[in-house]
Amino acid sequence: MQRLDAFARHSDEPGRITRLYLSPAHKSAARELCGWMREAGMRTSIDALGTVTGRYESSPAGAPALLIGSHIDSVRDAGRFDGTLGVLAGLTAVEELARAGEKFPFAIEVVAFGDEEGVRFPDTFAGSRALAGIFDAAALAGEDANGISLREALITFGCDPTRIADIPRKRNDVLAYVEAHIEQGPVLESENLPLGIVTAINALKRLSVTVEGEAGHAGTVPMGMRRDALAAAAEMVLAVEKIAAAAGDVVATVGQIETVPGAVNVIAGMTRFTIDVRATGDAARDATVERIEQAIRAIAERRRVTVDLKVNNRTPAAACSPLVIRGLSEAIARQGIAVRMLPSGAGHDAMIVAALCPVGMLFVRCRGGISHNPAESISIEDADMCVRVLLDYIRHFDMSACRA
């Protein structure tokens, strides 16, 4: 918990936690994390996409690894637990094993990805996609709000984009991936449980929408003659909400909106906004997105504006491994805690790593279910239990089952 407090100092904005991918705060956080890992007896590295890895060697050396990790980037004005908890809990578990002199026939690698939140660049999950061997090199051309490409940002960070091809792991070298994370929801708190086990991670699709109308004077263009891009976008946003609400087990969010020229006395000539759609399955997600696209195009035609829709991210639903679920369930039960299974509505690096190896997630109760907010909070007792369960899982880890 002290480390989580200390890590919160790495921020791109004074007075709040904002640690964007490949920013100066991300770089300083990665360096401090490497230092803590080395103090714990781990061999550290930062790969060509900024992912930090600390390896606690096997006995004998060179064996496949159990991966434990999460991400260390954040949203703007974030809390201090989202992502970072999973990385530092893994580090704490390794420290305890090193203190006790415990070694295993498998290595343990603590992995800290840097691009889970997808705040800075159009694409996201760069680090975990590369690890799993599914990184699309076209993402390197994606630009942030300041026109800086991912390729340029990597070079500034100190990475060599030409080495990205060296990142993917071979299946035989990785046994499983376990990610501890705050729940980001109210279920565990409502049932007075410190921990839960994730069964599956919902499907995700993110779109960007550009609406173009015609700018004009706010006082001289009659209402019936306007081609107002912002008014059209406002109707589209409400259509997104209505369609998702009627779809059942689907959620859709418009999280960013920008208008041009953005003056108080000018009709908006262009508006851009984002759409984030999530569902328990790929089919439900895609059907909802299709209905949203149809509604947006109909609104654009009726209001005499043009619209361009672009899919920036498409991530399939990912089921957690029954092997990892069973191992985590047994570890929780040995602590005398009821085992609670629940799905994850939020996306995580685990859903990407699932393309490489068996994955599982451990949820930690958070106060009020609040996340992506400075009010994020967990108790020291729940943090302690999270580390105890990770230790128990490691000590009882069935290496042969994951290699089968």
pLDDT for 238-254, tens place per residue?
999 999 999 988 999 99
What pLDDT is attached to residue 401? 82
312 pLDDT band, cuts 50/70/90, is confident
**Which one, of 362, 347, 375, lies nearest residue 116 by Cα?**
347
List pLDDT tens digits, range 70-88. 999 999 999 999 999 999 9
- Written as six digits, the tokens of 385 are 């239990």
Q: Are β-strands 250-253 and 270-279 bridged in parallel, bridged antiparallel, or unpaired? A: antiparallel
Q: How far is CA 292 from CA 10, 153, 185, 212, 364, in A?
A: 39, 34, 26, 18, 34
Q: Where are the beta strands (DSSP E) in 72-202?
A: 107-113, 174-182, 195-201
What pLDDT is attached to residue 402? 80
Going by C-beta distance under 8 Å and a sequence separation of 6 or more, which residues neighbour residue 375? Answer: 79, 367, 368
What pLDDT is attached to residue 24? 97
Instruction: Name which of 7-11, 56-60, 201-205, 330-334 the model is least confident about.
Output: 201-205
What pLDDT is attached to residue 291? 97
Going by C-beta distance under 8 Å and a sequence separation of 6 or more, which residues neighbour residue 316? Answer: 203, 282, 351
Q: Is 192 helix (H, G, I), strand (E, B) or coil?
A: coil
Q: Is 385 helix (H, G, I), strand (E, B) or coil?
A: helix
| Whether 119 contacts 78, CB under 8 Å | no
The DSSP output letter for 232 is H
State how far the Cα of 147 lies from the Cα of 161, in Å rounded to an integer.
Answer: 18
| Whether 83 contacts 20, CB under 8 Å | no
**Which one, of 372, 338, 393, lies nearest residue 82 by Cα?**
372
State how far the Cα of 209 lies from the Cα of 250, in Å rounded to an integer.
Answer: 20
Q: Which amino acid is located at 160 in the chain?
A: D
Q: pTM of this prediction?
A: 0.84
Bigger pLDDT: 211 vs 314 = 211
Place of tokens 């107002």: 228
What pLDDT is attached to residue 138? 95
- Written as six digits, the tokens of 159 are 């990475």
What pLDDT is attached to residue 32? 98
Query: What is the end-to-end Cα distance of the chain in Å, rounded?
Result: 37
Kindly state the average pLDDT of the residues 295-316.
94
What pLDDT is attached to residue 404? 61
Radius of gyration for the chain, computed over Cα atoms and rounded to the nearest angstrom: 23
| Whether 42 contacts 328, CB under 8 Å | no
89 has a pLDDT exceeding 90: yes
What pLDDT is attached to residue 310? 94
Number of H helices, E strands in the chain: 12, 16
State how far the Cα of 190 lies from the Cα of 198, in Å rounded to an integer.
Answer: 17
What pLDDT is attached to residue 400? 84
Polymer length in residues for the chain: 404
What pLDDT is attached to residue 129? 96
State how far the Cα of 378 lies from the Cα of 387, in Å rounded to an integer.
Answer: 13
Percentages helix, strand, coil for the chain (3-state, rounded to 5) are: 40, 25, 40
**Sign of the torsion angle spanned by Cα atoms 347, 186, 368, 179:** negative
**Which one, of 76, 65, 94, lies nearest residue 3 by Cα?**
94
What pLDDT is attached to residue 226? 96
Share the mean pLDDT of the chain.
Answer: 95
228 has a pLDDT exceeding 70: yes
361 has a pLDDT exceeding 70: yes
What pLDDT is attached to residue 10? 97
The percentage of residues in the chain with a pLDDT greater than 90, rounded to a whole number, is 91
| Whether 46 contacts 52, CB under 8 Å | yes
What pLDDT is attached to residue 261? 95
- Residue 270 CB coordination number (10 Å): 20
| Whether 378 contacts 182, CB under 8 Å | yes
